[in-house]
Amino acid sequence: MNQKVIVTYASKYGATAEIAEKIGAVLCQAGLSADVMPMDAVRDLNAYQAVVLGSGIYIGQWNKKAAAFLKAHEKCLEERQVWLFSSGPTGEGDPVALVKGQRIPAALQPVAERIHPRDIAVFHGYINPGKVNFLVKWVIKNIVKAPFGDYRDWDSIVRWATGIASTLQNAEPA
């Protein structure tokens, strides 16, 4: 039986969506059936045996749609294999260190503990100055003090997705 996977995401400016698309492509290349879609397009998780759920990080918090989705689908997620990812920290160095070791925002930690994700990844993000308004640019530059640019590590993302594929393939009956 081929496990069906959904890769769903909340992305304000598109960078997290691109990461989700890459994860979905890796899963499909590995022979899994994977659908990739924004969270607000997801109507039902019952058709899926595994869920990869991602959000951009904005000033240390997940996108509001992602936080609401995680809470609303908690019971269903408890019954599935789940992987979570965040994207957002920019700059050099370990992305987990850039978010002070917080793999998921503190407000979502209790939900994450109940759904028992297989892994929670934090990926470097992309802040495109051409996609954000003046106020957001000012906050990023003066308060958050994050550098602009594309810091996503595609090799790291592919390795993580390959690990998901391997786990799901090994879980299937022979």
In sequence order, the 6+-apart residues with CB closer than 8 A to the CB of 124 are: 87, 89, 90, 91, 95, 98, 151, 152, 153, 156
pLDDT at res. 56: 92
> For residues 83 and 97, what is the distance between their CA atoms, to the nearest angstrom?
20
H helix and E strand count, the chain:
7, 8
DSSP H or E stretch at residue 164: helix 154-171
In sequence order, the 6+-apart residues with CB closer than 8 A to the CB of 7 are: 20, 23, 24, 27, 34, 35, 36, 37, 52, 54
Tens of pLDDT, residue by residue over 63-99, are 999 999 999 999 999 999 999 999 988 888 878 777 7
Q: What is the DSSP letter of 147?
A: P
Q: Is residue 125 within 8 Å of residue 89, measured between CB atoms?
A: yes
Q: How confident is the model at residue 172 (pLDDT cuts 50, 70, 90)?
A: low
CATH number given to 4-171: 3.40.50.360
pLDDT at res. 174: 39
Q: Is residue 164 within 8 Å of residue 20, measured between CB atoms?
A: no
pTM of structure: 0.91
> For residues 171 and 168, what is the distance between their CA atoms, to the nearest angstrom?
5
Residue with tokens 């990461």: 19
Specify the amino acid at residue 131. Answer: K
pLDDT at 116 over 60: yes
pLDDT at 151 over 80: yes
Considering only CA atoms, which of 82, 45, 113 is closest in space to residue 104?
A: 113
